[in-house]
A and B are shown apart, each in its own frame.
Chain A
Amino acid sequence: MAMKALEIYKLLPKTNCKKCGYPTCLAFAMKLAAGKADVELCPDLDPETKTLLGGATRPPIRLVKVGVGERSVTVGEEFVLFRHEKTFYHPPGIMVHISDTWPEEQVRTVAEDVRDSVVHRVGTDLMLDGIAIRNESGSPTQFAETVALVEACGDLPEVLIAADPAAHEAALAECGNFLPLIHAATDRNWRECAALAKRYGCPLAVRAGDVKTLTSLVRNCVGAGVPDLMLDIAPGSLREFIAAATRIRKAAIERTDPDLGYPIVFDTVPLGITDAALAAGVLKYAGIIVTEPLSPASMEAALTLRQNIYTDPQKPIQMTPGIYPVNEPGRDAPVLLSVNFSLTYFTLLGYLEASRIPCHLFVVDTEGLSVLTAVAGGKLTESLVAASIKQFSLNEKVDHRQLIIPGYAAPLSGKIEDETGWKVLVGPRDAAELAGYLEKEWRT
């Protein structure tokens, strides 16, 4: 079970010697309790305490990296079952399936598509993560050739899916240094797979249809010197996946079964159902999801879902407050007051750029709340507006003294005018009507 900071503190030397890099033993204990520090940092612990604390304070789910470089994915280190309890930290890597029986052209098209497709949302570029190459030909040589083809398309993280260790060996000769996920060690081939994973330092998935076999595989592979593991429960249905993944996640975060403290791999392809499986993987605890190639619509929706679910519930995606010039505004261009919720900013920006009207977007800090929510929650106030005008020297940016506020902030118009001395114009509620409004109403 997890230990509380005070329980941990009792076991530390309490000398506050700072050798761990933290100012006090208590500060170090708090970091340990949060799973954010390593017991090894304190040199003055006896080995017994170290083992005890190590088991209780390492993150409940091991952090595992697949691939190298910019596009590599890191998963694990999650702490909760429900995102509202804290947040989910490491979005699952979505790996698109390629078979080594496909013609070269098809392999290349799919791999390039994964490499190049981008979805732009609220200031972030969302992308698929990598390629899962499946050995369906039965031939190690053909498997390795397909892997080489994928390698030639760029440095995307890879999952190597094969039952035959000889196929893995051949493929790893092509890509072993780029940390592909080897999938999967089973009770038949784990020795060979673990040896390969150890040789290349790669992460390894273990696969079994029941938890008992799965945990014994974990112990075997760890014993064979492979620390970076992932779990594949070999679900026979989507429902089995959700039920099993939920149990594994729960056992891991409650530390009732340390051998389950690894990220989950979900190979959706054998289930023959794409969108539902992908959504379920994103929602229900998958670390790596293998999927059929996606239509553009499915890709956009799936990546958006992943972004939503992995947004910190306490911290909406936010813009830095400030004055943003849009369409090269001059000193007589209108000033539009808005909030620092990214969704609001990018919705507005979309309409403004399309209309080509120059303006200054004056974004104040509502802690990431939308206009209506900020007004209702008292986060958008006249004093905030007044303070922000000073902070960002709005006076020096324009020659006029007029502020256009969102329609939803209309109840604040009088108060903002009094507090700032600026003339307040109430704009429309819907950003879609903003261009028409500015054309009609804006005069300096």
Chain B
Amino acid sequence: MQLTEKEDAVLEVQLGATRSEGGTREVSYRIGGETKLPFTEAEPDRLLVALEICDETQFWPPVIREYVGDLADQPDEWAKTAERTWGADLVRLNFTSTKQRGFDDFPGITKTMEQVLAATSRPLIVEGSSEPELDSEVFRRCGEAGEGERLLLGTAEADRYRSVAAAALAYGHAVIAQSPIDINLAKQLNILLQETGVARDRIVIDPYTGALGYGFEYSYSVMERIRTAGLAGDADLAMPMISAATDALAVREVREAAAGDRDAMAVAWEFYTAFSALAAGASIVCVRHPMTVARLKNALAAMQPASGQKEV
């Protein structure tokens, strides 16, 4: 029995570029391409788990600062450990330093970009500026330092997309397009981005993910709606999705957990949120706790279609 009447597919987006593709990555990924609801096709999944790191940890959850220890001061080592030890498919580098009042260390952005790219061998997601005034310079630097690498660059929003789009266009990257839990706003932003010249297959939708227990149900449903709209033939919503429950480690359940239980609670909260996002149609889930990465990877490994899977 068929689940979706039409056979339209989620668009394919390439992340990262190998040497032969003009970059320096050892692998590149293609996400998207699905023609059915999540976990119901016979094809192997192309789902990715990203570990988030940052360049200024005063804005990062205490539970992670404690867990990663000294790595927190070295984004490149942190990124390397994420790929080699914790098993992340890729890293999402957040320039949290740009949240500081009066930030002006632009050369530092370029330097961190270069270091992290040198330390990693897989595609890279980069979260550039947190301040509208800094957008153009920060995104330009991120884009330039990653030229040819096919970064996934974020974040474009309805009233703040020109600088990211410009950097992506100039240096050949893909863009994260974030809208606040609303299918129409997601579509509008995708159209705006395409009008500036960003190709359809260089856009990844971020429908905004509220943390489990704190609005997650809205995010879950909007992801399902975007996925089914894409499969039903709406080309401006047929992009793959990325989900990051940015507040998942700031919730009361994690903050107020006893010291000995805090890691377990953090991992459970991130895992249930991220796994559910995958079930709703996300292609990339981003988490912050290294142990969540392993749990998600295990679950996904157990979910790959077996060659002898029975048709029921």
Contacts and interface: CB of A to CB of B under 8 A. Distances in A.
Contacts of B272: 275, 279, 301-302, 304-305
Nearest to B221: A84
A246 interface: yes
Nearest to A256: B1
A237 B252 contact: no
B117 interface: no
Nearest to B181: A373
A295 B268 CA distance: 10
B147 to A, nearest CB: 38
Contacts of B224: 82-84
B302 interface: yes
A24 to B, nearest CB: 35
A384 interface: no
B253 A84 contact: no
Interface stretch (B6-14, B58-66, B188-196, B304-312): B304-312
Interface string B197-223: 000000000000000111111101110
Given A84-B221, A308-B217, A309-B220, A283 B279 contact: yes
A237 B309 CA distance: 8
A253 B183 CA distance: 25
B276 A283 contact: yes
Could you say which of A242, A250, A295, A300 has the most chain B C-beta atoms within 10 Å of its C-beta?
A: A300
B40 A242 contact: yes
Interface in B275-312: 275-276, 279-280, 295, 298-299, 302-306, 309-310, 312
Nearest to A248: B312
A240 B212 contact: no
Contacts of B133: none
Contact of A239 (B261, B265, B309): B309
A297 B312 contact: no
Contacts of B1: 247, 250-251
Given A273-B302, A275-B275, A304 B212 contact: yes
A275 B302 CA distance: 12
A284 B309 contact: no
A300 B256 CA distance: 13
B305 A308 contact: no
Nearest to B256: A350
A336 interface: no
A304 B252 CA distance: 13
Contacts of A429: none
A342 to B, nearest CB: 11
Interface residues of A, number: 46
A243 B265 contact: no
The DSSP consensus for interface residues of chain B is: helix
A238 interface: yes
B271 interface: yes
A418 interface: no
A298 interface: yes
A283 B216 CA distance: 13
B228 A82 contact: yes
A240 B40 CA distance: 8
B259 interface: no
Contacts of B276: 279, 283, 305, 309
Contacts of B267: 297
A209 interface: yes
Given A210-B312, A236-B309, A243-B312, A308 B265 contact: no
Contacts of A300: 253, 265, 268
Interface in B74-132: none
Contacts of A233: 312
Interface in B254-278: 257, 261, 264-265, 267-269, 271-272, 275-276
Given A209-B312, A210-B312, A307-B213, 11 more contacts: A82-B225, A121-B213, A236-B306, A237-B302, A238-B303, A246-B37, A279-B275, A300-B265, A301-B253, A308-B220, A313-B217
18 contacts: A83-B217, A83-B224, A84-B222, A209-B312, A211-B312, A238-B39, A239-B39, A240-B309, A240-B312, A242-B39, A247-B1, A250-B3, A273-B302, A276-B303, A280-B39, A308-B212, A308-B220, A309-B217
Interface of B: 1, 3, 37-40, 212-218, 220-222, 224-225, 228, 252-253, 257, 261, 264-265, 267-269, 271-272, 275-276, 279-280, 295, 298-299, 302-306, 309-310, 312
